[in-house]
Chain A
Amino acid sequence: MGNLRGKLLPPALAIVFSMLLCGVALVISGANPLSAFGAMMSQVGKGTTLVDIINSTGIYYIAALAVAIGFQMNLFNIGVEGQYRVAAVIAAVVGGSIVLPPGIHTLVIIIVAALAGAAWAAIPAILKVTRGVNEVISTIMMNGLAIGLSAYLIRRDVFGELRGNNIRTAEIPESGWMPGISFGGSGTMFGFIFVAVALGIGYWIMMNRTRFGFELRASGESSTAASAGGVNAKKMVLVSMLLSGAIAGLISLPELLGRDHTFSLNFTAGIGFSGIAIALLGRNHPGGIAFGALLWAFLDKSGLALDNVGVPREIVTIMQGSIVLSVVVAYEVVRRVELAAEQRRVGRELGTVGGAA
């Protein structure tokens, strides 16, 4: 019971706190916070917003899972951003240049994307294991390289083609698409959302029921205890980084397979960074991450309504930022309080049971 409270209380506190903070910011800037929040809530029912939120949730969810795998063993994979960009362009190029039966074609694209993401993550992983290079530094640099590489790959003299004002890769034939669920005027839900759900379940099983998950969590909790327990630290760094990169490679697939069918200049960037925030918010727990991704998607999509009531949309960014900051603080505070309470509880129960030294 206390355990559940410890898990739910910090994010709830953080959200309330950041809403208050944003409310204050709105009042200072001369707007009415209540009408702003009201506009955001009512936006959910309008047009395609609800389906957009669900689609966006799925994408964020995959990104946060990728980050969370690294977090589980104290690896800070900031490179998710670059990994999914590289994976997207390579998957789009491969998908657009091969012809395969439906289903298999899609599957091949998915596998290519995962491999490409893993390969991009392999570079910092190998650097860390062999040379001790900090993954934060190397993945940030890999992000910069990823932008350059993707821009190069869609040049017209490489794999790109000019369509209107946009440069893009060859379109993936229909056999490589993944159909979605259409809600008519309310939009179409990506089929890849189901893959995201499956990834979440797989992630939970891996973390809680497999030897690999145990070794990952043990390494994250105490690398020294893990190594005394026979966990090979270098292997864990390599494998978890590759896994993180592979999942990162899937981030762009909902859009690529379900809507865009090509990698173009309109590519949605920045999801990898949101994934970091969401993984923090969800404490690397598959359920918590789902909630965090939903909250993020809601703020993103319903924030569009703020322009209508004369409030700058950027207030949403403030809110996202303050949620992350305050949730980190709140988790730490609650963790300490809970640990002290647990120690007192054990002390009390033993004081009444035995007591003899």
Chain B
Amino acid sequence: MSSSTSVRTDDPPAVVLTGITKRFPGVVANSDVHLTVRRGEVHALCGENGAGKSTLMKILYGMQSPDEGTIEVNGEQVRFRTPSDAIKAGIGMVHQHFMLADNLTVQENVVLGAEALHGIGQKARRRIIELSGKTGLNVDPGVLVEQLGVADRQRVEILKVLYRGAKVIILDEPTAVLVPQEVNELFDTVRGMQEQGYTFLFISHKLDEVRAIADSVTVIRRGTTVGSADPKTVSSRQLAEMMVGSELPSPETRESTVTDKVVLDVKGLRLMTPDGSRPILDDVDLVVRSGEVVGVAGVEGNGQTELVETIMGMRKAGGGTITLLNKDLTKLGTLARREAGIGYIPEDRHRHGLLLTQPLWYNRILGYQTRRPTAKGVWLDTDGAKKDTERIVADFDVRTPGIDVPAAALSGGNQQKLVVGRELSGNPVLLIASHPTRGVDVGAQALIWDEIKRARAAGLAVLLISADLDELIGLSDTIKVMLRGRLVADADPNTVTPEDLGSAMTGAGSTSSSVQETGAAHETAVVEEGEN
């Protein structure tokens, strides 16, 4: 492997963190962390959500200062007060959530805040073009960022840190937003840059990717480094168990519980963009039966969010019908649809699932403000809501000191367990789950999967949207692929691989020679459905 040859072991390491400890009042975020990153290597930092990766990277990037411990860059001890100190020392960070201004050009985005380096004119432009080659970005610096795809936006982010002179680049969950093909392109870029002497710190919890790209791996668990591993010999499972400290959950469902009782029947659903120029949902037909999990795969922004919100009545459909157990929902509002028996786990629990400053029991009422046990007629039943919240906290293992704390005080996984518990109460007939385990820890993930499986076995129909293809394949009985507002292909979760799904999701299936038979089947499905 060429990558390993570019790692220079005789030079002082690019970054050495020794005994880093960071305490927040009442919590130790990092304790005695040791990390050595050699120059020119791709060093992966693995750990669950909440394990302390972000705090550690914030310390390395100068956003927070450690209580104890030292940072050495290229053999010299440094002390960062602000990110600009870190940038001066040649450390750059690409954040998971892009920090780009859509309405500015690539050049403007790159130069913004670094005008002093090469000005804002031709000199800057030349420098950007020179550097774009390294990142594999093949667009003119004058192009608006809003016209770029996700992968190119990420390259612009990398370009930004290169422009500021970074030699050590922190990539925070860089693949979370990419489809498998784009991940491969990113890895090619990383390898290419590695050969030119750049060093990468790759933060991820996707272990297959870590094994594919990293030269060495450090695992962090509950704030401290628990060990390192050689990515060439360790298996994903072993790595994961190091991360969690115990055995891993699996999304696999055992036997099929699908019945022929149709619960949700969507026919010819259409939705236009607000200006009416193009369809977001184009003639979508979808059937979910009792005891069945129907998974929808798709690259973000291909209409999955809108499909869910239209079924929930949060967006007004431009055409088509939605039927739940022979009851026509098409003209009903969101509340009536919920009352008809739809539970809804929204993709963004902060925006759509919770009232963050309100106590847990108050959140229990949301969506159930007309039903027992949280309401009686026009009156709220606060006692009933509190009692039922206690039940959810116990049954769904929501880790909280009580039901009177505001929802914002809980960790992401516990917030999500509360939402799942709420949406499964009141005996729903259909559960719409959008990214139900996004950003939650492994423990919460296992519990949420178990609960969805249990409800499915009891006859619940589930519409599952997920960007986690393993989750989608593991949980679903049927998988539909969504592309540009249409359901373009079906896949059999028993045989399909994430790579097949990835091809179908980007619409590139037919050009890829490695598409297997299931992949070919998708293509015929594309054609057939396209003709309808």
Contacts and interface: CB of A to CB of B under 8 A. Distances in A.
30 contacts: A211-B370, A211-B380, A214-B365, A215-B369, A221-B355, A221-B357, A222-B351, A224-B352, A225-B351, A225-B353, A225-B366, A226-B366, A228-B352, A228-B353, A229-B335, A229-B338, A230-B333, A230-B334, A230-B370, A342-B405, A345-B401, A345-B405, A346-B401, A347-B24, A348-B27, A350-B400, A351-B26, A353-B399, A354-B399, A357-B245
B48 interface: yes
A356 B441 CA distance: 11
A328 interface: no
B226 interface: no
B410 interface: yes
Interface in B433-455: 441-443
Contacts of B400: 346, 350
Contacts of A232: 333-335
A277 B362 CA distance: 28
B420 interface: no
Interface string B388-403: 0000000000011100
A54 interface: no
A329 to B, nearest CB: 18
Contacts of B356: 221-222
B314 A228 contact: yes
Contacts of B337: 230
A210 interface: yes
Interface of A: 208-215, 217-218, 221-222, 224-232, 339, 342-351, 353-357
Given A356-B443, A357-B245, A228 B346 contact: yes
Interface residues of B, number: 51
B286 interface: no
B521 interface: no
B497 interface: no
Contacts, number: 121
Interface in B1-54: 24-27, 48, 50
A215 to B, nearest CB: 6
A353 B400 CA distance: 10
Nearest to B413: A357
A347 B26 contact: yes
A285 to B, nearest CB: 14
Nearest to B349: A225
B304 to A, nearest CB: 16
A344 B222 contact: no
B178 to A, nearest CB: 26
Contacts of A221: 355-358
B367 A230 contact: yes
A339 B406 contact: yes
B295 to A, nearest CB: 21
A268 to B, nearest CB: 36
Given A339-B409, A344-B27, A229 B441 contact: no
B410 A355 contact: no
Given A214-B380, A339-B406, A345-B26, A227 B353 contact: no
Given A218-B366, A348-B26, A350-B399, 15 more contacts: A209-B382, A211-B377, A213-B380, A218-B355, A225-B351, A225-B354, A226-B366, A229-B367, A230-B367, A230-B369, A339-B357, A347-B27, A348-B27, A353-B399, A357-B441
A85 B312 CA distance: 43
B408 interface: yes
Contacts of A350: 399-401
B116 interface: no
A211 B409 contact: no
Contacts of A226: 366
Interface string B297-326: 000000000000000101000000000000
A225 B26 contact: no
Contacts of B367: 228-230
Contacts of B379: 209-211
The CB with the most chain A CB atoms within 10 A, among B27, B369, B441, is that of B369
B244 A229 contact: no
Nearest to A347: B27
B375 interface: yes
A interface: dominant SS: helix
Contacts of A357: 48, 50, 222, 244-245, 441-443
B529 to A, nearest CB: 30
B344 interface: yes
Contact of A211 (B48, B351, B354, B369): B369
A224 B409 contact: no
Given A215-B369, A229-B366, A346-B400, A224 B351 contact: yes
Contacts of B405: 342, 345-346
A214 B376 CA distance: 13
B322 to A, nearest CB: 15
A209 B357 contact: no
Contact of B24 (A208, A212, A342, A344): A344
B355 to A, nearest CB: 5
Nearest to A342: B409
A344 B28 CA distance: 11
Contacts of A224: 351-352
B275 to A, nearest CB: 15
Contacts of A209: 379-380, 382
Contacts of A210: 378-380
Contacts of A215: 369
A192 B241 CA distance: 71
B220 to A, nearest CB: 12
A218 B370 CA distance: 14
Query: 8 closest A-B pairs (Cβ-Cβ)?
Result: A230-B335, A348-B26, A229-B367, A228-B352, A229-B366, A349-B401, A230-B334, A344-B26
Contact of B314 (A212, A227, A346): A227
B382 to A, nearest CB: 7
A296 to B, nearest CB: 27
A211 B367 CA distance: 11
A153 B237 CA distance: 82
Contacts of A356: 246, 443
B212 to A, nearest CB: 25
Contacts of A222: 351, 354-356
Nearest to A353: B399
A202 to B, nearest CB: 14
Contacts of B336: 230
B26 A212 contact: no
B168 to A, nearest CB: 29
B471 to A, nearest CB: 18
A276 B217 CA distance: 58
A47 B301 CA distance: 71
Interface in B407-434: 408-410
A230 B380 CA distance: 16
Chain A CB within 10 Å — which of B337, B339, B378, B442 has the most? Answer: B378
A343 B26 CA distance: 10
B409 A345 contact: yes
Contacts of A212: 378
Of B246, B366, B379, chain A has the most CB atoms within 10 Å of the CB of B366
B63 to A, nearest CB: 16
Contacts of A351: 26-27
Contacts of B377: 211
A253 to B, nearest CB: 27
A355 B24 contact: no
A211 B378 contact: yes
Nearest to B444: A357
